[in-house]
Amino acid sequence: MTDYYAVLGLSRSAEGDAIAKAYRRQALTYNPQCNTEHPDPIELARLFKLVSQSYVVLSDPKLRAIYDLYGEDGVRHGGTGDVGVPGGLAVENTDPNAVFRQFFGVDSPFQVIGEINGVRNNQHHFFSKDAATDKSPPKTTPVEATVQVSLLDVFHGNTRKVEWTWSTENKAGDSKTTQAASFDLPVPKAVSVGDVAVIKGKGNVKEGNTQGDVHVNFELLPHDRFRRDGDNLLTTVPITLAESLAGANLAVETLEGRTLNIMIDQVVHPSFTRVVTGEGLPCNGNTNKRGDLIIDCSVTFPKYLTAEQKSELKRILTAENA
């Protein structure tokens, strides 16, 4: 799979301005019109197209969020990673010349670069300094927001309302007003705590800067029966002391409401677990796969034993260990 960040030479935390600068640099580097004597024109055209694909995805907050969570397949298949789901972006059909034209506002790189006397060894130090300078104003520092999601949101995907407060500030910083905002944010399947969704251009405003973004952090709500461990789900099932020693049939309800019949035919010791493969959460990066359901048992001891019961238990256990 293609690493769009690596193609543009960016870190995964790069902001919009850095993405634009990286595209500008790489688009001029690999534009075939600037490299008429390149030894491999086909490879050059491939790299030029790859740079354009990377910019199209990473410059769009929604596509970038999908890519960060699901990779290239998620972008191609509508943000789910499931083949055949409509709404995806056919990145392989990206027209690099159209992307170049939309970004620079011209068809020819020579109109962007200024005076060019020739290209030698793919070196572009002769590009005019003024043309290579990004003239867009800096972006205001992003607003941080949090949205709470449930395990069912993680399992199925959902939409959650995000609320935040953003400010308008003059250049001197001595005049500042605030107002509230909200947004219905799509929560993709398999989203994890630590993932960040970016709502572009809805954050703080400062005179002389472009409006900042909103960075939304995901917070997982507790569930009454399950705990999350990566893509796995953990649950604890109560059993009696007799069941822990002699075996039991457990009815375990899954997160989505199905009932699993689990037979325990061994002694349940304190570190005992039973793993049910493929009954966990969708896997981050490949939602066609699922993690596991891990079951442990909480043994309920009797509050009282008669002398006869104690004697019988002692006889049985002593005989077993003899």
DSSP string, 100-155: HHHHHSSS-HHHHH------BTTB-TTS-HHHHS--SPPBPPPEEEEEEE-HHHHH
Task: Give the closest residue to 250 by CA, choosing from 295, 300, 302, 301.
Answer: 295
Q: What is the pLDDT of residue 130?
A: 40
61, 191, 187, 189: CA torsion to nearest 10: 120
Give me the phi and psi of 179, to 5 degrees please: -150, 160
Indicate the pairing of strand 205-206 with strand 158-169.
Answer: parallel
3-state secondary structure 165-211: EEEEECCCCCCEEEEEEEEEEEECCCCCECEEEEECCCCCEECCCEC
**Six-digit token string for 176:** 């500042």
Q: What is the pLDDT of residue 80?
A: 46
Reported as type and span, the H/E element at residue 228 is strand 226-229
The domains located in the chain, with CATH, are 4-132 (1.10.287.110), 143-220 (2.60.260.20), 226-321 (2.60.260.20)
Indicate the pairing of strand 273-276 with strand 293-300.
Answer: antiparallel
DSSP one-letter code for 242: H
Q: What is the pLDDT of residue 294?
A: 96
Q: What is the pLDDT of residue 123?
A: 32
Indicate the pairing of strand 226-229 with strand 286-290.
Answer: unpaired
- 105, amino acid identity: G
Q: What is the pLDDT of residue 299?
A: 93
Q: What is the pLDDT of residue 117?
A: 33
Q: What is the pLDDT of residue 225?
A: 95
Instruction: List the chain pLDDT tens, one digit each, 322 residues.
Output: 678 999 999 988 888 888 988 998 888 888 888 777 778 888 889 999 999 999 999 998 888 888 888 888 878 765 444 433 334 456 677 888 888 888 877 666 655 443 333 333 333 332 333 434 445 678 888 999 999 999 999 999 899 999 999 999 988 777 788 999 999 999 888 898 888 999 988 999 988 888 899 999 999 999 999 999 999 999 999 999 999 999 999 999 999 999 999 999 999 998 999 999 999 999 876 778 999 999 999 999 999 999 999 999 889 888 755 4
